[in-house]
Chain A
Amino acid sequence: MKTSIWKKLSSTIAAVTIGGLAVINAGMAIADEYPSKPVTLVVGFPPGGSTDVVARILAKSMTKTLGQPVLVENRAGAGGTVGIGHVASSAPDGYTLGVSGVGASILLNALGRETGYNIDTDLDVIGVMGTLGLVIAGRNGLEPKTLQELIKFAKNNPGKLTYGSSGIGTPGHLAMEYLKSVAGVDLLHIPYKGNTPLMNDVLGGHVDIALLTTPGTAEQVRAGGVHPFAVTSPERSSLMPQVPTAIEGGFDGYTATLWNLLVTPEGTPSDIQMKLSKALNSAMQDEEVLASYKKKGLAPTIKTPAEATQFLESERAKWKKVISEAGVQKK
């Protein structure tokens, strides 16, 4: 018992000391010198995932511009909120950055989930790290071949079609619920744990339709494993130019895109923010980055911190509307 108290005490002392040093450090971080040591880029998902890959591509380019290594650190958990929560509580010295996706930035909060941070008051938005559309795709052997036929089929057979999503409250789930409400059709929702098992069951014909991520689906479409109905980006995807957008398919204003924001803890000095913004936006013009973005169907974005914050606002308004119009239950 005695030792455990001592341990607690000693760890508290250690934590206080480290914390204190960090604060001093933050005070000393002057933009002229910034960055004088490696910068950590926190990703809320495991290595190898689509968010991680985007982060690594950009980190490589930002390393060149900043002159210090930008190191990706994976703090996976709770739909990306564990990682962003860590960023929110880090020192605002520009050495801890985060990659915040649609879920961690908007959806979880809008669905009434406790995330442990408020993106408006705990984080500064530096920029947008590109956008990615989704694909409304169906299993092979489905009768309808276009989005309109699909909706007609669903209307004639209410409740017969199933759609899969990579989880409750994911963009794929909400955007599908939105489609249901605007088209006035009844589809049965089958949630999965992530995109991989979902893709598996669409390929295996166990679930009828799903909103799938672009690069992987484009490969499956090329091999004839799934049938694409429409893409949900405002423009056609460079990976599948033959597939129309949902807007072309008759759903005006229907878009659903995935994106990531580059965020820092609230209170990061503005000159450091500008340096980071410049590094991010020059990465968006880097030939190498553009080439890998194109291969992944990602659209590069160049936005100032103010524009990026505005982007967040407009996306939030849109998704909140989706949630309320589709009648998705809040938790």
Chain B
Amino acid sequence: MFENILLGFSTAFTATNLLYCFLGVFLGTFIGVLPGLGSLAAISMLLPLTFYLEPTTALIMLGGIYYGGEYGGSIASILLNLPGTPSAAVTCLDGNPMAKQGRAGVALFITAIASFVGGSVGIIALMAFGPAIAKVGLSFGPSDYFALMLLGLVATVTVGGQVRKGLIMVILGLLLGTVGTDVTSGDFRYTFGFLELRDGVSLVGMAMGLFGIAEVINSIKGSNERKVTEKITARSMMPTKEDMKKIIAPMARGSSIGGFLGALPGAGTVIAAFLAYAMEVRVAKDKTRFGNGAIEGVAAPESANNAAAQTAFIPTLTIGIPGSATMSIMLGALMIHGITPGPLLITDHPTIFWGLIASFWIGNVFLLVLNIPLIGMWVRVLQFPYKYIYPVVIALICIGVFSMRTSVFDVCLVVIFGALGYLLQRAGYQAAPLILGFVLGPMLEENLRRAMLMARGDVFQLIADPLTGSILALSAMMLIWAFACGLKSLLNKRKIKILPEGEA
């Protein structure tokens, strides 16, 4: 183990690898910040370049872009309510209110810390238990994934606040998720003859429309409301001691949720961030603070998505199963060099595996060192008049979405979802639960139907599986708990209403 770590650092600490690691995280952060241009687009564009690099160096750079992008994605969420990447959509919920309260610097500082903590937890998990975690991940079958997705759905919709509106949005997301080719039957659903819709609605296009374009349209009306006079002092950027105390537990919870879900090839960073947020709302005593700039609402999802970004390398590198599109490209970079990823990668090419992991540490430190001084610069972005920022934002979104599949159709989707997003925002509905429903829905359906096929239509066989059964029971308990709480508060409200009359 110790030998391996040494080997890793000796690989990662060469001048070339350090340079490409820095280049990767630097590029990743900036691309993450730019709405629409995610790490996926950036990695696809840079893939041809890796032809000319050593495979380890290539992976170090691409990896840096990936986790750097996860970090950068939240910067625009906080400052402009525009998630740079879909997994940063959750960070909008409390990060942007913090910025509106003049605490943008604090939110960014906390993002940097939480990302670092989450990333570090993920790397430790990857180093210490990588292959073991991968085995656990393999034991998750379709029925277990179904139960897990259901748990995610239940956990997020039963979370306090505006349950009814949240539920409507989740359902809308689930419905949008049904568009495309049905995996089980091969039939096209709601594709209206568009070839482009056969693979479903593009997640990035939808997220950029609902958040980005909607926010831009919204600001046209209220451009005068904005306060531009925020004083930026070093102190205003630093979280207070109390803030730091408050985020320790959320970071721990977020990192563990993210670390676990990231390692499952069928889950991903979006779900990790949402669940970490839901968890915080659940354990908080005062639930009304969420959505109004709760610091935990930034720390938890940020540590979760960065932990997930690191543990996503577990199935990718230890068994050769990439968990996401970005991970497949990483494996593609290896394949171009004639290395077929699989369970023997670690033994056959220890320098690649351990060098990459060591570079994650270095990259995360780079990110921290790079980003804390940059906070002041980012906050100043807020002082730019919107009339300059927003045209750039729209252009970037269009370029980013177009570059994903070289598709004009997806750009049109952005416009449609932008209009929808604006209407929803005016009506007081939040887009984040819609994204969650959209991401979870297809996986929920696909896995349920696959599990039912395998069980030959026997529901009881599904429930009888110990892992599936216990996850399902957990969801059931959550639902019952939520109903009980709802009933209790309803009764309390009635009492209050009735009491004065009785007294009168």
Contacts and interface: CB of A to CB of B under 8 A. Distances in A.
Q: Do A and B bind each other?
A: yes
Given A48-B330, A331-B187, A77 B321 contact: no
A73 B340 contact: no
B466 interface: no
Interface string B331-360: 111011010111110000000000000000
B342 A220 contact: yes
A204 B405 contact: no
Interface in A266-297: 291-292, 295-296
B195 interface: yes
A167 interface: yes
Contact of A82 (B195, B328, B344): B195
A150 interface: no
A48 B343 contact: no
B51 interface: yes
A207 B454 contact: yes
A193 interface: yes
Contact of B51 (A56, A191, A218): A56
A331 B181 CA distance: 12
A56 B333 CA distance: 11
A215 to B, nearest CB: 5
A191 B186 contact: yes
A142 interface: no
Interface string A213-238: 00110111011010000000000000
A291 B338 contact: yes
A75 to B, nearest CB: 5
B328 A49 contact: yes
Contacts of A207: 454
Interface in B282-340: 315, 319-322, 325, 328-333, 335-336, 338, 340
Identify which of A50, A79, A200 gathers the most chain B CB atoms within 10 Å of its CB. Answer: A200
Interface size, A (range):
35 or more
B4 interface: no
Contacts of A203: 138, 319, 321
B64 interface: no
B256 to A, nearest CB: 23
B183 interface: yes
B409 to A, nearest CB: 9
A218 B342 CA distance: 9
A105 to B, nearest CB: 16
B343 A200 contact: no
Contacts of B193: 114
B47 interface: yes
Contacts, number: 147
Identify which of A46, A77, A78, A191 gathers the most chain B CB atoms within 10 Å of its CB. Answer: A77
Interface residues of B, number: 51
Contacts of A85: 195
Given A168-B186, A196-B321, A220-B320, A47 B338 contact: no
Given A74-B44, A167-B186, A191-B183, A219 B342 contact: yes
Given A52-B332, A74-B405, A162-B454, A82 B265 contact: no
Interface in A188-204: 188, 190-193, 196-197, 199-201, 203-204
Contacts of A115: 195
B133 to A, nearest CB: 13
Nearest to A295: B338
A77 B195 contact: yes
B141 interface: yes
A241 B412 CA distance: 50
Contact of A77 (B48, B196, B320, B453): B196
B229 interface: no
Contacts of A219: 320, 340-344
Contact of A47 (B265, B332, B453): B332
Contacts of B320: 199, 216, 219-220
B383 interface: no
A72 B338 contact: no
B186 A76 contact: no
B465 to A, nearest CB: 11
Given A53-B332, A56-B336, A219-B342, A78 B406 contact: no
Contacts of A110: none
A98 B367 CA distance: 40
B199 interface: yes
B230 interface: no
A116 interface: yes
A169 interface: yes
B265 A200 contact: yes
A200 B140 CA distance: 9
B223 interface: no
B199 A223 contact: no
Nearest to B191: A78
B141 to A, nearest CB: 4
A196 B265 contact: yes
A196 B340 contact: no
A204 B186 contact: no
B183 A218 contact: no
A200 B138 contact: yes
Interface in A37-95: 46-50, 52-53, 56-57, 60, 71-79, 81-82, 85
Contacts of B44: 46-48, 74
A196 B196 contact: no
Contact of A53 (B184, B336, B407): B336
Interface string B171-210: 0000000000101111100000101101100000000000
19 contacts: A48-B44, A48-B330, A48-B331, A53-B332, A72-B48, A75-B406, A77-B198, A78-B195, A115-B195, A116-B195, A162-B454, A167-B186, A190-B450, A191-B184, A196-B321, A200-B265, A200-B266, A204-B138, A219-B340
Interface of A: 46-50, 52-53, 56-57, 60, 71-79, 81-82, 85, 114-116, 162, 167-169, 188, 190-193, 196-197, 199-201, 203-204, 206-207, 215-216, 218-220, 222-223, 225, 291-292, 295-296, 331
Which 4 interchain pairs have the tightest Cβ spacing? A48-B332, A219-B342, A168-B186, A48-B329
Interface of B: 43-44, 47-48, 51, 138-142, 181, 183-187, 193, 195-196, 198-199, 265-266, 315, 319-322, 325, 328-333, 335-336, 338, 340-344, 405-407, 446, 450, 453-454, 456
Given A76-B199, A116-B195, A203-B138, 11 more contacts: A52-B332, A53-B336, A114-B193, A114-B195, A169-B186, A192-B450, A200-B265, A200-B266, A220-B342, A222-B342, A296-B338
